[in-house]
Structure 1
């Protein structure tokens, strides 16, 4: 009997091709050879040249398949992209909300990853988790752990939400596609964005939290270890009590997530160990040798 592949989806525009290359490279490098892997990249305007370089970056012969699924960026333009909380506001963030209609109907589950993540472990343990009929599994945001937190759901009172319900970071999601389709989770999230465009902060992440309203499976923080745990600044961190994280999760994260406005591939990043981690995988792509602050024209010729 054939083993079910682990299915992973990421989304990016052309500006994010470089971190996307490293992110998918890390997924492939840390997968189990005996477990098939299917990776879908939702392309929100990634150029033909970038696709060529990305495909070459991921051509390794491992037991995995990576393919692009083109998104009509005009279909995403109706929703707001401006946010004081985001470093790279882009309509590509809404692409994940199109997954229920874009992905094959026989896919009942998928792992979604932001393109600013580095994977350090196989996903087998996460993939096998029982979601118990819930729409998704995710890591509670340690700096905004509640819907009523300062950077939680901004319009929680107006929307009639429970301010004490847990709030997740959407950089890694284990998604129950059957439930998303049945309950129209994505459609409700997009409707929430439209209705609350004047007050929404973290766009589709906030909208998903509003729709789910705390009803999700909280998974171990190692599956979405945010950069703030390693010293990156976080505007919401001042004056709040941050839940402790286990030493094991901190030392052995499964997924590292470079949240915030400062990224390893941008000027001003001040966490050398994290930068080294990112460039370990970036240097295994067609962007090898590129470093912080270099523009597209400065990339080494490949």
Structure 2
């Protein structure tokens, strides 16, 4: 049996449908889907449930999440929503589950997740893939100076995490991550991912990169592992212009959202959409000014 957990928002509704559908279609055993719902309507939940009706589906459980619980934590221009912090609460919400696989909702699962469900964690609490964007001098300096990581070359991407939930509860990882995220507000450029790397330092096992491969690094015939659509623009956006979009929509067409496509905007409309993505919130502006004043 495989247990997966996602954090689902209305903006990523199609992404959630595809991520779980792809996991179900490639899984050789029963798969249980736990959905931490940030702002899903009853109809959203119904359509997601309809999207995942495969012979190997186990249970689907929706767990409503109040963003007020993470109101004091940082968001960034890349990820304006604070919904990713909801993954901190997985040990609490899945109190009767010993192990799960957390998945972001911008993925295509191409391989059987049973291999991750039974992966040998070697006594550690988690298993993840090393982030592909940390090899620049600037990033290594950030990880050393800001996050104080002893081994900055060992920094994981949090889009796929194998979690020993008993260990997370035993080591109080949830409360530690929340404390780190609040006390280091101005230092966490990668939000929850930075906080988890601090808390889990030396407490995670390295997974094969295939289990969290960015769309830019995956071969066109990629079929063994997980494709991650990193970046602001996702396959369900009208201005997406990278690879794997056909494969992604083929999966969408096997869900309750079959045939739906993004509305393509031209001229002023397209420019406005791009402009909106680049506008920081007032909270972000205040934080930026505070950091500039501090550095000055």
- TM-score, length-scaled by structure 2: 0.82
Q: What corresponds to 1:73 in structure 2?
A: 67
User: Could you report, residue by residue, the CA deviation over 1:181-221 in whole angstroms, capped at 9, with x for unpaired residues?
Assistant: 11111211111111111121111111101112244211111
- 1:204 corresponds to 2:192: yes
How far apart are residue 155 of structure 1 and its match? Answer: 6.3
Q: Give the Cα separation in 2 of the matches to 1:199 and 1:288.
A: 42
Q: What corresponds to 1:143 in structure 2?
A: 133
Aligned residue for 1:229, secondary structure, equals coil
Q: What corresponds to 2:20 in structure 1?
A: 24
Q: What corresponds to 1:235 in structure 2?
A: none
- 1:278 corresponds to 2:248: yes
Q: What corresponds to 1:46 in structure 2?
A: 40
User: Could you report, residue by residue, the CA deviation over 1:279-299 in whole angstroms, capped at 9, with x for unpaired residues?
Assistant: 11111112112224469xxxx
1:269 aligns with one of 214, 217, 240: 240
C-alpha contact (below 8 Å) 2:127/2:204 kept by paired residues: yes
Q: Give the Cα separation in 2 of the matches to 1:278 and 1:286.
A: 14
Q: Call closer, same or farther: CA 1:149–1:179 in 2, change over 3 Å.
A: farther
User: Could you report, residue by residue, the CA deviation over 1:98-133 in whole angstroms, capped at 9, with x for unpaired residues?
Assistant: 01111123x221100001111111111122211011
Q: Call closer, same or farther: CA 1:185–1:264 in 2, change over 3 Å.
A: same
Which protein is richer in helix relative to its size?
Answer: 2
Unaligned residue ranges in structure 1 (runs of 5+): 231-246, 296-302
Aligned residue for 1:198, secondary structure, equals helix
Indicate the RMSD between aligned Cα atoms, in angstroms: 2.3
Q: Give the Cα separation in 2 of the matches to 1:152 and 1:27.
A: 33
Q: Give the Cα separation in 2 of the matches to 1:250 and 1:168.
A: 25
Superposition pairs for residues 74-223 of structure 1, below 5 Å?
74-81=68-75, 83-84=76-77, 86=78, 88-105=79-96, 107-144=97-134, 150-151=138-139, 154=142, 156-157=144-145, 159-223=147-211
How far apart are residue 261 of structure 1 and its match? Answer: 1.4
Q: What corresponds to 1:237 in structure 2?
A: none
Unaligned residue ranges in structure 2 (runs of 5+): 266-296
How far apart are residue 172 of structure 1 and its match? Answer: 0.4
